[in-house]
A = this chain, B = another copy of it.
Amino acid sequence: MQNLGWKRRLTEYIRTTGGHVTAPRLRVAEVFFDMDGHPGIEELHRAVEKRYPGTGGATVYRTMKLLCDSGLACTRDFGDGFARYEALDPAGHHDHLICTACGKIIEFGEEAIEELQEHVSRRHGFQMRDHRLDIYGLCRECAKIEGVG
């Protein structure tokens, strides 16, 4: 997976900004990319502390901001009172089918949709850099259970 690539990509990004590749940054990133799901800062900080005691909370915040700036992660709002982070597979899609019943998330990519997005952007004089498409509804199984449709 991405686990092979994040270190190189992060290092590359830090270099371009004239920054330093430090141990705390690599530790936070490593723990983050080893985790599944969408940890918030507190959960992530706990996990980092467990593997590498002595890492400050501010560093976790700052490192996650770095990962977001570099495009390796992004924040997602799940309605909790805090930010949660999602690992971004560079070549991956940002399109999801999200089942509101069971929470399952299906990733997909649709070239035609991306082309239309470009099209719409240009029409508004907008320079598209990235996108996120979330479709909410019921997956096959849950639709069956709820006996709808």
Q: Which residues of A contact B (CB under 8 A)?
A: 75-77, 79, 83, 97, 99-100, 106, 108, 110, 112-113, 116-117, 120-121, 124-140, 143, 148-149
Known interface pairs A76-B77, A131-B133. Does A138 touch B126 (Cβ–Cβ under 8 Å)?
A: yes
Verify A140–B126 contact, CB threshold 8 A: yes
Using CB atoms, name the residue of chain B closest to A128: B137
Min CB–CB distance A40 → chain B (angstroms): 13
Verify B97–A121 contact, CB threshold 8 A: yes
Q: For the complex, what is the distance from the CA of A109 to the CA of B100, rounded to whole Å? A: 23
Using CB atoms, name the residue of chain B closest to A136: B130
Question: Of A126, A134, A136, which is in contact with the most chain B CB atoms at under 10 Å from its CB?
Answer: A126
Using CB atoms, name the residue of chain B closest to A112: B116
12 residue pairs bridging A and B, Cβ less than 8 Å apart: A76-B77, A77-B77, A97-B120, A108-B124, A112-B116, A117-B133, A126-B137, A126-B143, A127-B139, A128-B136, A129-B136, A131-B134
Question: Of A116, A140, A148, which is in contact with the most chain B CB atoms at under 10 Å from its CB?
Answer: A116
Kindly list chain B residues whose C-beta atoms are within 8 Å of the C-beta of A140.
Answer: 124-126
Known interface pairs A79-B75, A137-B121. Does A129 touch B100 (Cβ–Cβ under 8 Å)?
A: yes
